């Protein structure tokens, strides 16, 4: 009898241990889970926030509006038009400072050529209710606008119905939050419907594959969800039932030629897992005309990278890579943007952004000595002043090799188009006669 009792306790102990091990294997590993369960185990409940990081964006904008900061932005530009490189590694360097308590900010912008030579330097300053603008080597004072009675000022310049008597600070965080909320609602509902409607058969275990993370080639586990165009149409139908207007939130007709609902695109979402953590999300949407949108979010030890690629059958292509590195008092972004509008136009921009907080920045004050107040000047005087400045900018040696020089020429070409068309018509009439 004693032996039976001992044996019983042993069996019960084994069962308890076995149950514990089984529970661990099920809940803490992927051994007995379906591919669909594994898929959402790594994605979590809030895919929309994972992709958008709207909360972090709001936090950044709040910090910018409530904490002193210094901003440094370095832009390198290339632009090819009709086979000619009109911007060959031209450079824009922007240095900004804000002092919240003193209600001051300043911005220094330098336009350089491909040799990093400073061609044009522009300074702006905000001091309480004054806004100043200065051009190095052209103006010896800030051209300053006092923020009051601006309706009178606009009228002198011939600008009617502007209804802007005073410049009010823009609450970018509020505006962005509203737009992000709409997109987040759309994505959250879409992912929720997909999770509910897609059967287990739609999910695949792609096995092990090699990819680059943190500068190294590593083995990752890949899992995939594939939905047909008909299945995605069902998703959009369900969204309509939820009173969500997709096309009001995302207008695809401008670059894909049709509304997103009518495109009937195939949807593929692939996740990559490394070391028990989600390493990458890749979403691809492709319609029957080979128009494609691809979004890739990569999570590395120190950096998060978001990549976007849009292509259509007309040859338009947009590619963007944004890598973010954040600490408590510093935000760094590296952005690579590429736009191919047609075979004749291609623009590439490499942008580095560095924002440091709590810097106790010293900022220029706008005084009577360093300011030229234009509020009380006549409309003709103001127009003449800026006309002279623009002419002097145009005459700067090397200005044609900078971004502002290209912009200036484009504006000038636009203004000349009516006259050019007139001359062309005259030539044609003379030829016909």
pLDDT score of 261: 65
Buried b (16+ CB within 10 A) or exposed e, 186-204: bbbbbbbbbeeebeeebbe
The residues near 296 (Cβ < 8 Å, ≥ 6 apart) are 280, 281, 282, 283, 305, 306, 307, 308
Residues of the chain with pLDDT under 70: 1-32, 116, 170-178, 245, 248, 250-263, 408-433
Alpha-carbon distance of 61 to 379, in angstroms, equals: 37
The span from the CA of 355 to the CA of 67, in Å, is 11
Query: In degrees, to the nearest 5, what angle opens at C-alpha 49 toward C-alphas 47 and 51?
Result: 70
| pLDDT at site 225 | 95
pTM above 0.85, yes or no: no
| Dist CA 125 CA 180 (whole Å) | 30
Whole-number pLDDT of residue 367: 94
The dihedrals phi and psi of 147, each to the nearest 5 degrees, come to: -80, 70
Query: Which residue in the block uniquely carries the two structure tokens 């052209």?
Result: 138
Enter the tokens of residue 108. 């220094």
Kind and range of the H or E run holding 62: helix 54-66
Report which secondary-structure segment, H or E, holds 271.
strand 266-274
Are 224 and 238 in contact by the 8 Å Cβ rule? The answer is no
Going through 328-401 in order, the beta strands assigned E by DSSP cover: 330-342, 345-357, 371-373
Which pLDDT score, from 0 to 100, does residue 254 have? 62
Q: In sequence order, what are the residues at sequence separation of 6 or more whose Cβ sits closer than 8 angstroms to the Cβ of residue 358?
A: 67, 68, 69, 329
Residue 173: per-residue pLDDT: 56
Closest alpha carbon to 63 in 172, 178, 175: 172
- CB burial of 381-391 (b: ≥16 within 10 Å; e: otherwise) equals ebeeeeeeeee
φ, ψ (nearest 5 deg) of residue 149: 50, 45
Degrees, nearest 5: CA angle 208-209-211 = 140
Residue 411 neighbours by CB distance under 10 Å:
11
Question: For residue 26, what pLDDT is reported?
Answer: 37
Nearest to 117 by CA among 407, 405, 399, 351: 399
Residue 66: which residues within 8 A CB-CB, separation 6 or more?
100
Distances from the Cα of 10 to the Cα of 22, 85, 243, angstroms:
18, 81, 60
CA 101 to centroid of chain Cα atoms:
29
Helices (H), 141-225: 150-156, 172-197
The answer to whether residues 53 and 74 touch, using CB atoms and an 8 Å cutoff, is no
Q: Are 370 and 142 in contact (CB under 8 A)?
A: yes
In angstroms, rounded to a whole number, what is the distance separating the alpha carbons of residues 319 and 207? 29
Q: Is the dihedral of CA 241, 247, 249, 250 positive or negative?
A: positive
What's the rounded Cα separation, in Å, for the pair 193 and 282? 19
Phi/psi at 250 (5° precision): -125, 110
Closest CA to 88 of 115, 111, 110, 121: 115
């Amino acid at each position: 009898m004693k032996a039976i009792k001992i044996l019983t306790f042993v069996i019960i102990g084994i069962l308890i241990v076995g149950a514990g091990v089984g529970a661990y294997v099920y809940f803490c590993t992927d051994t007995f889970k379906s591919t669909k369960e594994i898929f959402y185990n790594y994605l979590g409940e809030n895919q929309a926030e994972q992709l958008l990081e709207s909360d972090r964006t709001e936090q950044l904008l709040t910090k910018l509006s409530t904490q002193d900061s210094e901003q440094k932005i370095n832009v390198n530009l290339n632009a090819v038009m009709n086979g000619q490189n009109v911007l060959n590694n031209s450079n824009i360097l922007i240095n900004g400072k804000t002092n919240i308590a003193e209600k001051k900010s300043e911005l220094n912008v330098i336009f350089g050529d491909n040799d990093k030579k400073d061609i044009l330097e522009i300074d702006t300053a905000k001091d309480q209710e004054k806004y100043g603008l200065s051009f190095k080597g052209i103006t010896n004072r800030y051209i300053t606008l006092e923020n009051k009675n601006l309706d009178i000022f606009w009228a002198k310049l011939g600008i009617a119905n502007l209804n802007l008597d005073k410049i009010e600070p823009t609450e970018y965080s509020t505006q962005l939050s509203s737009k992000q909320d709409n997109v987040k609602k759309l994505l959250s509902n879409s992912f929720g419907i997909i999770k509910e409607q897609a059967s287990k058969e739609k999910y695949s275990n792609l096995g092990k594959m090699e990819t680059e993370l943190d500068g190294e080639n590593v083995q990752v586990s890949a899992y995939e969800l594939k939905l047909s165009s008909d299945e995605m149409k069902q998703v959009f139908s369900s969204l309509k039932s939820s009173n969500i207007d997709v096309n009001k939130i995302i207008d695809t007709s401008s670059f894909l030629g049709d509304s997103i609902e009518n495109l009937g695109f195939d949807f593929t979402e692939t996740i990559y897992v490394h070391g028990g953590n989600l390493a990458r999300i890749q979403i691809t949407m492709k319609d029957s005309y080979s128009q494609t949108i691809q979004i890739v979010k990569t999570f590395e030890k120190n950096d998060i990278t978001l990549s976007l690629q849009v292509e259509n059958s007309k040859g338009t292509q947009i590619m963007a890579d944004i890598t973010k590195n954040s600490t408590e008092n510093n935000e760094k972004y590296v952005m690579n943007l590429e736009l191919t509008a047609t075979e004749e136009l291609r623009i590439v921009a490499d942008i580095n952004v560095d924002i440091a907080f709590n810097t106790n920045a010293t900022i220029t004050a706008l005084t009577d000595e360093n300011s030229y107040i234009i509020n009380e000047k006549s409309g003709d005087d103001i127009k003449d002043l800026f006309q002279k400045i623009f002419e002097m900018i145009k005459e700067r040696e090397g200005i044609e090799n900078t971004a502002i020089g290209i912009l200036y020429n484009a504006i000038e070409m636009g203004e000349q188009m009516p006259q050019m068309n007139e001359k062309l018509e005259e030539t044609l009439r003379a030829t016909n006669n």
